[in-house]
Every structure is written in structure tokens, then in C-alpha cells.
Amino acid sequence: HLQFLLLSRLLGRFPGARWIFTDRRDVVAQAVSYAKAVQTQQWRSSAEPQGEPRYDFGTIRRLHQALLADKEGWQGFFRNAKITPLTVIYEDFTERPDDVTGEIIRVLGFPTEPCEVPAVPEIARQGDETNIEWAERFRQEAARQGLNI
């Protein structure tokens, strides 16, 4: 991955930098969400979708493989650079945003005493029943094809 080579060259310019690595336990669900976003150009809940998404095993498979490769690339980068990032799991963040945000603030060394918090725009989860159905269908089709997902 070229981006990791370039990033490695920049490390010396940011001594003492702290790193946050975002991850998902369910990479299939991530690939499904990614596929829907690519098809509809709806990258956030406040945007209007441009068309209807349709299930496509090949697209989800390619995105799943790309997401796994990216994850492996980041893990290799951290390992080679001897960096131990704070890992933020998406599913934990969506279930306990205050706890995860508090941990990020603590690790980054920001003050943790109470302060006035700016208003945060409302963000709605984009995943829906279609995501669940597509993920299950993808897992079933992958298993029938003997793919280790």
C-alpha cells in the first residue's frame, strides 16, 4: 500500500502523535453499508439517496476484500512503526458513544472535567432491515461457494 509508505515517511514530523484506529467487528455489515452508499451516493443519513440500491454479491465481495486488506494494511503499518493505537470499535461507539468518546478524550490527554459541550448535529444510523437481509444473504451465498468470510 503506497499510502502506508508515504505515511511512514511523515512519522518523524509528528513525534508523540497519538493514533486512533477505527474498526468493525462485522466487516460483512460494513461491506453491505459501503455497497449501498456507493450505489445511492448516500454517505450520510442527512443526504438524499440517488436511486435504489440493489443486492450484488460481487460488489459486496470486492468491498469486503478491500476492507479486510485496508485493515491488514493499517495493522501492518502500526506494527512496523511500533505504534499502539487506541482502537475504537464501531459497534461499541454506536452502543455507548459517551463511554467511547470519554476514552478517546482521556487517551488524547484532553481535560476530562465537565465543560460546556457544543451542540452536535443529529446523526441517524443508515443501516436498516435491508442491510441485515443483504448481510445474511451474502453470508449464505459465500458459504455455498466455500468462501471463508
Per-residue pLDDT at 87:
97
pLDDT tens, residue by residue, 94-147: 889 888 988 999 999 888 777 676 666 666 777 889 999 999 999 999 999 999
- Write down the pTM of the prediction: 0.85
The DSSP line for 27-83 is HHHHHHHHHHHHHH---STTSPPSS-----HHHHHHHHHHHHHHHHHHHHHHHHTT-
Q: Cell numbers of 73, please?
A: 494494511
pLDDT tens, residue by residue, 63-108: 999 999 999 999 999 998 999 999 999 999 988 988 898 899 999 9
From the number of C-beta atoms within 10 Å of its C-beta (0-12, 13-18, 19+), residue 40 rates as middle
